[in-house]
Every structure is written in C-alpha cells, then in structure tokens.
Copies of this chain bind each other. A is one copy, B any other.
C-alpha cells in the first residue's frame, strides 16, 4: 500500500518525531511504499491565497505534488501535538491547501458549494496520532476534544475515508521514559493494525 505520513512539530527531539520515526519503521518493515512530510522541516507554506481557491486553479509544483500524493495514498497517518484543540498552523495550512476540491472532494452538479460534497479520496484508513499535556478528564469535561470532530467528521469522513482511528498520548510533559517506550509500542500495534505486512 502507499501510505502518506504527515508530521507537524517544531522540535526534532520531540516525542512527536519519535512517534513519526516509529510509524515509518513499521510501514517500511511491512513493505509499504511510504511518502513522508515533516512540514516544519520543509517549511511548508501554509497560506491559502484567494487565487488558489477555485477548482481547477493553477497550483505551484510543490502543492501539485502534495495533492497527487494525497490522491494516490491508500492510507494516511497524521502526527501532531494538540495545540488549542487544533493542529499547529503549518498542518492547518496543509489541510487548507492540499485537501482541496477536485482532489479530496467535489460538489455535485448544480451545487453552488453549500451542499453535501462527495468524498474523492481512495485511502481506506486514516490514523491520527496526537500528543497532549492536558489530562484526559479535563480534555473531556472542559474542552470537549475538538480534534476528534475536526479530523474524523469535518475532514476524513467528508473526503470519503470511513475507517478513522485516533490515539491521543498524554500527559507528555510529565511522562517517564518507560511510559514513552510503552506508548511507542502502542504506535507499533496501531500502525501494524492499520497497515499489516504485505503478503509475499
């Protein structure tokens, strides 16, 4: 399978980077084809400008490549910290620009843009791996975990990816090395569950 992996965290020494490395390890071990983007390292341009919005707009080559990769992906893995119930801005910019009409969804004929779009992604499964410093109870009772709705319903379900899985690792800031090792084992299981080894 072709698997697209997108990471957004500014610190190469972060647990998010450790998660992403583990994701790549498992995917390669299982003989999948992997496309990986570390959006911070690549300084992905997060600005969606007005000229780029219309269906059929001319896209810059970097964006064109991102769109093709998304279209061709059989699976998608997203890794990012929970910042204010949302991803870091650079990943929000990737969503704004790459998950575009004609690539990830389209409106039905006669629809001016207010109707229910048709998902176009062929990816069968999307896995979102998050880190947070907010304890689970507070997230549930006070913040309501907006990331779940955003990735699951607003984005992936709309684009036709029905098998959605997500795991939030917390609390990072007070975690022990042992706890992190345990979490990375969970990452292995999750990725292996979504993308098992290719039969020879």
What secondary structure prevails in chain A residues at the interface with B? Answer: loop
Give the complex CA separation of A133 and B105 in angstroms: 15
Across the interface, which residues of B come within 8 angstroms of A93, CB to CB? 46, 89-90
Give the complex CA separation of A104 and B180 in angstroms: 30
Q: How many protomers of this protein does the assembly include? A: 2
Known: A84-B99, A114-B174, A133-B114. Contact between A144 and B155, CB under 8 A?
no
Known: A143-B149, A146-B149. Contact between A47 and B154, CB under 8 A?
no
- Of the listed stretches A63-71, A120-128, A134-142, A185-193, chain B binds A134-142
Contact status B48-A150, CB under 8 Å: no
User: B-facing mask of A97-130, CB < 8 A → 1, else 0?
Assistant: 0010000000000001110100000000000000
**Who on chain B is nearest to A145 by CB?**
B149
Contact status A84-B155, CB under 8 Å: yes
Across the interface, which residues of B come within 8 angstroms of A29, CB to CB? none
Contact status B154-A84, CB under 8 Å: yes
What are the nearest 4 A-B pairs in CB distance? Answer: A89-B93, A46-B89, A146-B146, A11-B50
Give the complex CA separation of A143 and B48 in angstroms: 22
